[in-house]
Chain A
Amino acid sequence: MIKITIGTGALALACSFAISANAQLVTTKHLSLPIAATIATTAMETCKAQGYAVSVHIIGDMGEVLVALRGDNTGPHTMENSMRKALTSRGTRLPSGQFAENVAKTPNAGALRLGNMIPARGALPIKVGEEVIGAVGVSGAPGGEKDEACAKAGIDKVADQLK
């Protein structure tokens, strides 16, 4: 019995060592502050040029706020809303408008009960290739599609650096 136990233990150790030897650190790319700031200011300026006052949030890989930007003459809710749109986009790896469409058919969707998730258009995931590394959320324009267009302008501005 003791022999079997020791044998099993040795086998387990051997296996775990084998796994450890093959394990590598995780290497991922993240948004830098200058890139995040450029996305945010570009989104805000784009909407401003169209006559829309908006606030903008840039969310990083772990859902952390990288940039929060309150626009002039915006409603007080736009800061929270742009943050929640961005977090929703990062969490679902989808445009927040796409998430809104998806859950419209399932109002009891569990995702709607998670903290800060919001089914509202105006945020887009920020990607390197197919990998989502953050999101930009915009709020304040009269219509989520207009918010989203400004978010897109922000991402387009740094497209060459997202690699």
Chain B
Amino acid sequence: MPKIHHLAAVSLATALACGLATSANAQLLQHKDLSSVIATTIALTAVDACKAQGYNVSVHVVGRNGEVLVGMRNPAAGVNTFENSWKKAYTSRTFRTPSGKFAENVGQNPVAGALFLANITAARGALPIMIGDETIGAVGVSGAPGGDKDEVCAQAGIDKVKDQLR
């Protein structure tokens, strides 16, 4: 019986030591996020890029956690575009891929589980915002006649700040 106690004590000490060792090695996470100025520049550039082609669009920029950094409703665009641009951006951030690529992926599988998650949409027009290979947000555009045209404006927004995405 004392032996068992002894073993238990050793086990406990080992567990504690390991736990402490892990803690000692643990570090806070550190990452870069979009600033409101950069996010606004992306959004306004996307609006202007589409406007220059004759398309009125609404735009959303979401951050690393899918939170809205900037939402812009274009009163000259369709009523649904505000919601749609947000869902596209959220989808792109979630899957770290253009929302059009996600749409292609699930196009073969209409009962894909991902389609049943809240606020996910299989529609082209959003692109992830990356630093190297890391996705730190996304920009979604809605209102142009075709997701490919929305996506071009999203790309223009990202291109505008590409020197700052590092």
Contact = CB atoms under 8 A, between A and B. Distances in A.
A37 B35 contact: no
A66 B75 contact: yes
A94 interface: no
B96 to A, nearest CB: 21
A31 B67 CA distance: 25
Contact of A66 (B67, B68, B72): B72
B75 A33 contact: yes
B30 to A, nearest CB: 15
A71 to B, nearest CB: 5
A33 B70 contact: no
User: Interface residues of A: mostly helix, strand, loop or mixed?
Assistant: mixed
Nearest to B79: A64
A30 B40 CA distance: 22
A67 interface: yes
A60 B75 contact: yes
Contacts of A68: 68, 70-72
Interface string B73-84: 111100000100
A33 B73 contact: yes
B44 A37 contact: yes
B69 interface: yes
B35 A72 contact: yes
Interface string B32-69: 00011101100010010000000000000001000111
Interface residues of A, number: 19
Nearest to A70: B69
A65 interface: yes
A151 interface: no
A33 B69 CA distance: 16
Given A33-B47, A37-B44, A79-B68, A70 B75 contact: no
B73 A67 contact: yes
A92 interface: no
Contacts of A41: 40
Q: Which of A33, A69, A72 has the most CB of B within 10 A?
A: A33
A147 to B, nearest CB: 16
**Interface core residue of A30, A41, A68 (most chain B CB under 10 Å):** A68
A22 interface: no
Contact of B75 (A30, A69, A71, A79): A30
Interface of B: 35-37, 39-40, 44, 47, 63, 67-76, 82
Interface of A: 30-33, 36-37, 41, 44, 60, 64-72, 79
Given A30-B75, A37-B40, A60-B73, 12 more contacts: A31-B75, A33-B47, A33-B72, A33-B76, A41-B40, A64-B82, A65-B73, A66-B75, A67-B72, A68-B68, A70-B63, A70-B67
